[in-house]
Amino acid sequence: MQVNANTESFQAQYERLVENWLANFAQINQDVLKNLQLSVTNEQGEKQTLYGKNESGEKICDISPEQIHQMESGELKPDIQVVQSAEETEQRREERSRVQAEDVKVFAQDEMGESELVYGKAGSRMINRLRSEQIEQLREASTVEVGSKIESEPIKVKLGDEVVFQVDESGQVLVNDSVKLQQVLEALDEPIQEQQPQPIVEDYYDDDFDGVNFEEAQENVLVELVSDLVDSLPDPIQAESEPERDIQDELDEFFQVDLDESFPTTEEEVSGFDVSVTTEYEEVQTEKPSEKTGLDCIEEAVGQLKDGSLKTVLTQSTQELRVEVSEQEPNPQLKTERSRSLDQLMEARIQESQDPNWWQRTTSKIEEMVTQVRDTFVGSRAASTLKQFADKLDLQSGDSYEGAEYNLKREGKDYTLTDKEGAVLLKFRSSVMGVKVDASLPGLDDRDSKKIEGLRKDLQNGNQPQGAFVSEGKAEADYLKRVNSITSALSRYAAQNGGTAKVEGRFSYDWESSKGSVMIKNKQGEVLLASGQGHTRSRMTEKDLKHFEEMLPNLAGQRQGQAGQKKQMEVG
């Protein structure tokens, strides 16, 4: 019996590994696997299902490691189809026939000529800035054929991810699905009030971002108050002279006693007065109920459960949650340092009360506070994006992802972002409370934060990562393709000019080429590209590649011109 259990466990683990590979191989989400059918043609020409469901609806998973290797190498060509049941097909047909306002997005040009969303859902709020004349233009254009020109401003209508209508700057209709456009117009007739942005955290951060500790964000408020106060101060201000008052006079005035009131005079009355006050105070203190946190209530409820696996799991979860909450609490030492900084600012103001320009000398301290808040926000936003990226990659503990410019590694709940030289740029931990960034590292610079922001936009749009986070293999393949394109173009240029070509002098680069070989040097004599006899060595940067890619059309033009002259000479 134990052997069968182990066998079933191994089979389940193997199926899970195969499904993870299959989702990555077919570039689909895990939830699509239930409708996926993978089959191959064997040597006898028969079609064999390796993954999916048979006619009885039973699950099939008969992909061997050898077949996986053959599919990845291209030796075995799989036939992958997404099969839906009749009920699912009918349900999807009904869903597609119902167009809701939230599925519609309309884009128009703003005053700067940039495309902006004038109708549709943006994040958690609904935008409706569509003018009545724009809706009327859509109605009139619904019957116009594609390619026709109309009097209309540039506009694009999307239904889900599909463009159903589009007009460019010249008024030409590029796309017009009249049936779906009519459904969109019917949805636009339904009244929708634009949801104005509310001053809450969701307006400033994406759904995956867990927010910035408001204890740490108080400097932002201070900066706004300070800037308003500085703007309101006239130049310069002469303080009104007031007679100096002795500190003792102020104390006497504050503690002035009305002699008409009755106060204890004898020793017994005084002692009795003290005792009564103390007793009442102690009673109030003892009667004050102790406040319970939400975690305390959860732990009490879990403690009342019967002993078992469920109670063990819930107990461990609440203990972990308590640790995470304690880690999220503001650092008392950091709070004390901030309080001390604010106290120093106020002391400086009191000591120089006659100086109206004292705020100018606090600029460096305030800038330091603002920088700290900014680094916290940028780091948390970047960590949330990278966590979402790791989840999409299904990055397990011990795995790492190598991109074109960055590497992302996971160890348990800890994630580390490094550059290609191995320098640590960002470290964070994932927990039930979100992400917690390691504050011991310096903040991300603008270059790195912009690259991660680009990754965030790719994830939001459902696109594959581009640029700095594209996979290292794809980046190298694209680089080699660009180098080979330059090499081939220069070799063809040499072949059409007597077999060799050499360019040097007042140019950005010196290069020479012959049939099958190319060498490019910079002005310092360093070899950037050497190719010939099947070997290629390249040190060309993005700047070098763009230079030669922009130059290639001119070389092609010269070749065409020379060919035309040669043809005229032959005719003559």
pLDDT at residue 328, as a whole number = 58
Residue with the two structure tokens 């340092």: 337
Q: What is the DSSP letter of 463?
A: P
Whether residues 466 and 481 fall in one domain = no
**Phi, psi torsion values for 173, nearest 5 degrees:** -80, 115
Q: Token digits for 240?
A: 């009104």
Whether residues 324 and 432 fall in one domain = yes
Overall domain count for the chain: 4
Residue ranges of the chain whose pLDDT lies below 50? 1-5, 192-206, 209, 212-216, 229-230, 236-242, 255, 259, 261, 263, 265-267, 270-271, 273-284, 288, 333-334, 564-572
Q: Which of 470, 503, 528 is the last residue of a domain?
A: 470
Distance between CA atoms of 201 and 194, rounded to whole angstroms? 19
Number of Cβ atoms within 10 Å of the Cβ of 154: 15
Q: Contact, 336 vs 344, CB < 8 A? A: no
Whether residues 52 and 118 fall in one domain = no
Whether residues 369 and 440 fall in one domain = yes
Kindly compute the dihedral angle of the four CA atoms of residues 482, 485, 486, 491, in this order, to the nearest 10 degrees: 160
In tens, the pLDDT along 34-73 reads 778 888 888 788 888 888 888 777 888 888 888 888 888 8
Residue with the two structure tokens 């998973």: 61
Whether residues 364 and 465 fall in one domain = yes
Mean per-residue pLDDT of the chain = 73
Q: Which of 71, 92, 113 is the last residue of a domain?
A: 92
Whether residues 410 and 521 fall in one domain = no
Whether residues 301 and 434 fall in one domain = yes
Q: Is residue 20 part of a domain?
A: yes
pLDDT at residue 343, as a whole number = 64
Q: Is residue 383 part of a domain?
A: yes
Distance between CA atoms of 3 and 513, rounded to whole angstroms? 68
Which parts of 73-170 are beta strand (E)?
Answer: 79-82, 104-109, 115-122, 125-128, 155-159, 162-167
Which residue, 93, 105, 96, is CA-closest to 165?
A: 105
Q: Which residues neighbour 485 within 8 Å (Cβ) at sequence distance 6 or greater?
A: 549, 552
Distance between CA atoms of 491 and 499, rounded to whole angstroms? 9
Side-chain half-sphere CA neighbours of 552 within 13 A: 17
Whether residues 39 and 160 fall in one domain = no
Exposed (0-12), middle (13-18) or buried (19+): which is 483, by Cβ within 10 Å?
buried
Distance between CA atoms of 24 and 20, rounded to whole angstroms? 6
* The pairing of beta strand 173-176 with beta strand 400-402: unpaired
Q: Is residue 208 part of a domain?
A: yes
Distance between CA atoms of 532 and 529, rounded to whole angstroms? 10
Whether residues 552 and 497 fall in one domain = yes
Distance between CA atoms of 369 and 363, rounded to whole angstroms? 10
Helix (H, G, I), strand (E, B) or coil at 295: helix
Q: Which of 455, 470, 485 is the last residue of a domain?
A: 470
Whether residues 495 and 363 fall in one domain = no
Distance between CA atoms of 74 and 59, rounded to whole angstroms? 26
Q: Is residue 288 part of a domain?
A: no
Q: Report the first-to-last Cα separation within the chain, whole angstroms.
A: 95
Q: Is residue 289 part of a domain?
A: no
Q: Is residue 282 part of a domain?
A: no
Whether residues 219 and 162 fall in one domain = no
Q: Is residue 50 part of a domain?
A: yes
Which parts of 35-178 are beta strand (E)?
Answer: 36-41, 47-53, 59-61, 79-82, 104-109, 115-122, 125-128, 155-159, 162-167, 173-176
pLDDT at residue 276, as a whole number = 45
Which residue, 48, 61, 58, is CA-closest to 16?
A: 61
Whether residues 351 and 394 fall in one domain = yes
Q: Contact, 458 vs 392, CB < 8 A? A: no
Q: Contact, 216 vs 376, CB < 8 A? A: yes
String of b and e for 236-255 (b: at least 16 CB within 10 Å)?
A: eeeeeeeeeeeeeeeeeeee
Q: Contact, 49 vs 39, CB < 8 A? A: yes
Distance between CA atoms of 165 and 117, rounded to whole angstroms? 15
Q: Contact, 448 vs 456, CB < 8 A? A: no
How big is the chain by its Cα radius of gyration, in Å?
A: 36
pLDDT at residue 336, as a whole number = 52
Distance between CA atoms of 391 and 394, rounded to whole angstroms? 5
Q: Contact, 387 vs 414, CB < 8 A? A: no
DSSP sequence for 398-456: T-EEEBSSEEEEEETTEEEEEETT--EEEEEEEETTEEEE-TTSPPPPHHHHHHHHHHH
In tens, the pLDDT along 455-495 reads 888 888 888 888 888 777 777 778 888 888 888 888 888 88
Helix (H, G, I), strand (E, B) or coil at 96: helix
Q: Which residues neighbour 99 within 8 Å (Cβ) at sequence distance 6 or greater?
A: 159, 180, 183, 184, 186, 187
Domain region containing 36:
2-92
59 beta partners: 53
Distance between CA atoms of 184 and 134, rounded to whole angstroms? 13
Q: Contact, 105 vs 120, CB < 8 A? A: yes
Q: Is residue 486 part of a domain?
A: yes
